[in-house]
Chain A
Amino acid sequence: MSPRGLSRLGLPILALALVAGGLGCDPSTTADASDATADGGAAATSTPDAGAAAPDEVPGPILPERASEAPGVAAVFGGPGVGPSSFSYPRAIAFDGRDGGFYVVDRRAWVRRFDAEGRPVSQWQMPEHENGNPRHLKVGRDGNLIVADTHYYRVAVFSPEGVELRAFGERGQDDGKFLFVTGVAEDAATGDVIVCDYGDDVSRVQRFTAEGELLGAMGGLPGEEKGRFQRPMAAAVGADGRVYVADSCNHRIQVLDATLQNVLAVWEGFRYPYDVDVAPDGRVIVAEYGNNRISLLSPDGEPLWTHGRPGRGRDEVATPWGAAFVPGGDRALVTDSGNHRLVVLELP
């Protein structure tokens, strides 16, 4: 090849190489610290160690001012990681009705508190988390946290700063005891605590006083019939005392009366509903782990609106474990667990 011919060939090749190199070395390409496998959800395969104590930077508010009336994603916050703005498979979320602040629990057993605008305020780690981390929590009427301490077979109450105030429950199949505690809810009127648990030949909902005295129960052996459950994952108490239970492996929500004696309604059409919450106006929101979406229902259980489909994009979710109404009921906050982030939804 003549020299001229070589250079004619070489220059385009060189140019191509430079372009390709520039593209390839893009550091900001898909920061997927979460696994790169085809799935979107589950395993962060490494066990992240406990992060810092209090946040040293104060990021901006998660919950923006109401920008538009259109329902949909208002904001997305977080991503995989261990810093104050990051989450590691967040699951449970609960709002403090008094000041609008909220708490998020992730898979590293960190309980993180945010203010009403969504700024991180503090965080603490569950005292015992070797066996596992709590799957659910609610803020009681006195501002304390009621935590479903799943793998320790108990319900524990903590102060907002993480001081354990009291706990009740022990492992057992009999009523009054627990296997995997998966859901808690407080009846604000009476202070009673509703607890869901499941395990070996057990799937039930129980009602206790604040001190842990058993008041009633529904369920027992798992089943598909009305009044039986298969892996109830969450409960919520409405203003009228009704109890809504996310009966996940039966793919339905069961609505019980306050005494847990009667089933008032059974709402079907979900896929592995893992969390349920009630707004002051009676609307119900459900986080569907299997359908990768959030469903909004009327007080009668009629579907009003859904959001989300499987994926990582802004309008998508991956195996969401939790959903809660922002106090007031016109917005909801969702733990988009598989995407390690929180999603703020503007509700219709």
Chain B
Amino acid sequence: MNLPVHFGSPHLLLLLLALPAVVLLAKRSLAGLDPIRRTLAVALRLAVVGCLALALAEIEWRRVDDRLTVIFVVDQSLSIPPKQREEALRFVGEASGHLDPTTDEALLIVFGKDASIETKLVKNQTLPTISSVIAPEHTDVSKALRLALASFPQGSRKRIVLVSDGNETRGEMAKEVELARQQGVEVSVLPVHYKYANEALVEKITVPPQAKLEQPFTGRVVIRSFAKTDATLRLYLDGGLEETRAIKLEPGLNVETFQWSLGRAGFFSVEATIETPNDTLYQNNEAHSFVHLQGESKVLYVYGVEGESEPLLEALERERIEVEAIDATAFPFHPTELQSYDAIILDDVPSADLTKQQQSNIEYAVQHLGTGLIMIGGPDSFGAGGWIETPVEDALSVEMEIKSKKIIPKGALAMIMHSCEFADGNTWAVRIVQAAIDKLSKKDEVGVLIYDWQGADKWLFPLQPATNKARLKALCNTMPAGDMPTFDPTMKLAVNGLIKSTATVKHMIILSDGDPQQPSAKTLADAVKHKITISTIAIAPHGGPNGFEVNLMKKIASKTGGKFYLARDPRQLPKIFIKEAARVSRSLILEETFRPRLRHTGEVLKGFHPDDFPPLHGYVMTQTGPGTTKERAQVLLESHKGDPILAYWRYGVGKSIAFTSDARGRWAKDWLAWPKYTNFWAQCVRWASKELDDSPYLVTTSVKGNRGKLILDAVDEDGTFVNHLEVAGIARSPRDKRTKLKLRQTAPGRYEADFDADETGTYTATILTSEPGQEGGESFTTGIVFPYSDEFRRLEANPRGLARAAKRTNGQVIDPTAEGFELASLFEHNLSAEEAFLEGWPWLLALAIGLFPLDVFVRRVMIDYEKHWARFIGVFARILPGGGGPRPPRQATGTLGRLMERKAEVRDERLPSTIAAAGAAAAKRFEARVAADAPGAKSGDQGKSKGKAPAAGAAGGDGGPPKEERLYTSRLLDAKKRALRGQRRPSDGDEKK
């Protein structure tokens, strides 16, 4: 049957049989109501019951939709050549010409790795290009089909037209096809065919994973070419071009070999790229691999002061430790360059000489690559060298700031800023003062002086401890830029402030262009007398480097023992200021003669005895011990004051040693002649150096799509599995993006971790194993190669998968060139229609719920329907021509007046019993909204009288009082009387209605 209405549970329609019963019941229970009301109430009840019955019977309206929705799912991934991609869009455009807007809907979905709805198609749509972003380096057909299935509207017939080469690199199409079949969606396919004529691609590059230093190894590059062509092959080592070759390619596979021998140890990525004149896809022109070279131990030695390193270098040479000595400017910038060194020695190098990135690389090398770090003291080392709060401090075994002493050494720094005349002068001033404040320790005092244009030479903020650096830096933001007329007032203020300070080191920095009037001789003399050093920095002096302003500023510096700087460019200023601020931390240097005390020998000082050590003449104060971050560090040698002289610890994979005195003539002159000097340093360096990895553990890697996996098999020499290790590491992408790894144990001795890689190339992974509670462990470095997407590798269409999809869903395999193919067939309504049902129960239920209170209302609430109806009619009667006169209003007053009269009458009647009166009063309460103008209403006996009052009389002759009116209330009154009297007989005039 094709009825428009359908019942889910037709048996419940039997509930409709209850309707007559409702009527019958109503007859009894509603007897008291007047006819109109009763009818209404019954009708409402019938309606409510009817609605409920139908709702329960699950009434449904059936809709048959003749709509058709066609979704074109078009592959725009890069495996398809551009021409074919455009043709696919053109095809869709042509097909849209057969769209019938009244019954059809069409969508275009494009996909690559992602799928996106490009547009809703209109008739004769043109599609020059797509605007969706779909990551075309991959093909994920299943995602696109999933999106299409979700995009169909309810109730229409559904067809998908899939245009693709079938080369999926992600996901599985078959699952979605099955879903489509279940949902009655027809999937027709249009396979895209193409042929790459001139493509060349690098299949892979292989090199041995391990090689020996200085020994040649062979690598092979496999290239596939579709045509005979010339090509250029380039080979890269760690990003640098090593070799370029011109080669000739034949169709098919070509192999090129190369032999390299490398002089540096470490982990290197190797890359091969190919270039041909007519190449179509560039993404597949590169392949990556890596090689690990083991080498001899080599140490990188960085000296801060030229010419003073001979003693140490000679000593190490005697011990046959290979050392490369450089100054800070030659320090490598790239983290991988640090790999070739087993240890780094910083000998009296100030932190300002290395960039933050270089310092961070050192910390990384120690923590993750196992490189050793040794810092040797001097006037520019440790805290005095500004290494406070640097990454290198993190890796070292001592803290630079001293917190635990009773008399904490502190410095005081005053800065005079006259910087307004050069471009952005004020901004620079703020910035460099803030940078200097950062370099101070919290106990150091700092103050800034300026000339305020409103006429004052004054402190921006006076000399005070730098405990709240944030606050002081914020004050700098209010620095006014005034052109200072003379140096003297601010210098006097500064000198006086510094004289009053209890700091051990007092320093002043003046930044100016040299224009202001020079300070008085007395001011300078006072500075010298109180050992206040003044450094001056000339920025953009008018007279240039030879002007007398420069002379003036040089003189101030030299007279007081400070340094002069000529800054040609404001960008030099921050470094100068930081260096100068660090001078304040000279307070950390203690120059006294003492014999270092041996606390333990540990591993480093094996074979040394307490009396062995000659005196030292100075060191930089540092701190370790409980309460610091260096609690774990071991102090082997200490000064007469208990400060560390030699302290070491393990940091991540690596080890670091801090030697706070120096290794040359200044503080260690007695050591240079010491016979054990060589042994001492050799042992330190050897201990700190990276350990060779000859571990029996095995690390393997695997790659699936863009997910890399690391597997560690921890089996020790006896063949037993090593369990419960803590294994953690870092994976570094070719562009130096780092991902933390934690390997979890998945089987006896086996630990695994995955990570996502979104770059192509060689990723480096270093992992460190450790046993819980123990220090140190094994470290491993390996590479993981993520090649280019398969999208660029297969380069041929895969129509079989598509054909299968079509077959499963009764779709067609479209061949636009075939005879008899009609484009209009795509829009044919030959699919089985889907039935849609609109459920009726929510509406019916709502209706029932709405009607029910209405029913109650009708029964309970007294409204004089007749009167209202009459009035309503009356309104129209007035409006309509020839209508009746405005009778009702007059009647109203008249009636109301009569009513009041009647009321008075009744009262005067002196009812015999108070009960009657009470009853009257009670009845009055029920006198709800009686419209005074309805013809029947004026029967003033709205129940309060005994009902026997001559209603007719009171009515005043407008027809007899309608019986219905007085019925209810009078009955109520009677009933009350009865109840009170205890009588059972009905009172007079009581009519059962």
Contact = CB atoms under 8 A, between A and B. Distances in A.
Interface string B537-571: 00000111000110110010000000000000000
A35 interface: yes
Contact of A35 (B421, B481, B518, B544): B481
Nearest to B519: A222
The listed residue with most A CB atoms (<10 A of its CB), out of B423, B453, B515, B548, is B453
Given A35-B426, A201-B518, A230-B517, A310 B454 contact: yes
A41 B517 contact: no
Contact of B552 (A132, A151, A200): A200
Interface string A291-327: 1100000000000000000100000001100000000
A265 interface: no
B391 interface: no
7 contacts: A45-B427, A179-B548, A248-B486, A272-B455, A290-B485, A310-B453, A338-B453
A48 to B, nearest CB: 11
Contacts of A281: none
B453 A132 contact: no
A41 B453 contact: yes
B517 A39 contact: no
A204 interface: no
Contact of A131 (B425, B454, B543): B543
Contact of A249 (B517, B544, B549): B517
B485 A248 contact: yes
Given A40-B453, A131-B544, A249 B488 contact: yes
Interface in B459-512: 478, 480-483, 485-486, 488
A149 B749 CA distance: 85
Given A39-B454, A42-B482, 8 more contacts: A43-B425, A47-B423, A199-B549, A200-B551, A248-B485, A292-B455, A310-B454, A318-B453
B420 interface: yes
A39 B551 contact: no
B543 A310 contact: no
A226 interface: no
A165 to B, nearest CB: 25
B485 A43 contact: no
B275 interface: no
State which size class the interface on A falls in. 35 or more
The listed residue with most B CB atoms (<10 A of its CB), out of A35, A39, A272, is A39
A319 B454 CA distance: 8
A340 interface: no
A255 B452 CA distance: 29
B736 interface: no
A126 to B, nearest CB: 14
B488 A39 contact: no
A46 B425 CA distance: 10
B350 to A, nearest CB: 32
B424 interface: yes
A38 B420 contact: no
A38 B480 contact: yes
Contacts of B543: 131, 151
Given A151-B542, A222-B517, A42 B421 contact: yes
Interface residues of B, number: 31
Contacts of A171: 548
A203 interface: yes
A290 B515 contact: no
Contacts of B520: 222
Contact of B485 (A46, A179, A231): A231
Interface of A: 35, 37-43, 45-47, 131-132, 151, 171, 179-180, 198-201, 203, 222, 230-231, 248-249, 271-272, 289-292, 310, 318-319, 338
Chain B interface, DSSP helix/strand/loop, else mixed: loop
Contacts of A132: 542
Contacts of A35: 426, 481
A180 to B, nearest CB: 7
Contact of B483 (A41, A249, A271): A41
B455 A290 contact: yes
Contacts of A179: 548
A271 B542 contact: no
A203 B483 contact: no
Chain A interface, DSSP helix/strand/loop, else mixed: loop
B450 to A, nearest CB: 10
A198 B483 contact: no
Contacts of B421: 42-43
Nearest to B488: A249
Given A43-B425, A131-B544, A231-B486, A310 B518 contact: no
A149 to B, nearest CB: 12
B454 A199 contact: no
Contact of B452 (A39, A131, A198, A203): A39
Contacts of B518: 200-201, 222
A144 B678 CA distance: 80
Given A35-B426, A42-B481, A198 B517 contact: yes
B512 to A, nearest CB: 13
Contacts of A319: 453, 482-483
Contacts of A292: 453-455
Nearest to B486: A249
Contacts of B485: 231, 248-249, 272, 289-290
Given A38-B478, A39-B482, A45 B548 contact: no
A271 B455 contact: yes
A39 B418 CA distance: 14
B517 A37 contact: no
What are the 6 A-B residue pairs with the smallest beta carbon separation, nearest first?
A41-B453, A39-B480, A231-B517, A290-B455, A249-B486, A200-B548
B419 to A, nearest CB: 9
A248 B489 CA distance: 13
A272 to B, nearest CB: 5
Contacts of A248: 485-486, 517
B420 A42 contact: yes
A291 B455 contact: yes
A196 to B, nearest CB: 12
A171 B548 CA distance: 9
Given A222-B517, A230-B517, A249-B488, A43 B454 contact: no
Nearest to B457: A290
Given A180-B515, A200-B518, A42 B542 contact: no
A275 to B, nearest CB: 13
Interface string B436-455: 00000000000000001111
Contact of B424 (A42, A45, A151, A338): A45
B90 to A, nearest CB: 48
Contacts of A39: 452-454, 480-482
Interface in B707-746: none
A230 B420 CA distance: 22
Nearest to B555: A200
B486 A230 contact: yes
A171 to B, nearest CB: 7
A14 B985 CA distance: 74
The listed residue with most A CB atoms (<10 A of its CB), out of B420, B452, B455, B478, is B455
Contacts of B423: 45-47
Contact of B454 (A40, A151, A203, A231): A40
Nearest to A198: B517
Contacts of B483: 41-43, 319
A115 B420 CA distance: 33
The listed residue with most B CB atoms (<10 A of its CB), out of A131, A200, A289, is A200
A54 B128 CA distance: 57
A169 to B, nearest CB: 14
Given A231-B517, A249-B485, A43 B455 contact: no
B454 A37 contact: no
B448 to A, nearest CB: 15
Contacts of A42: 420-421, 453, 481-483
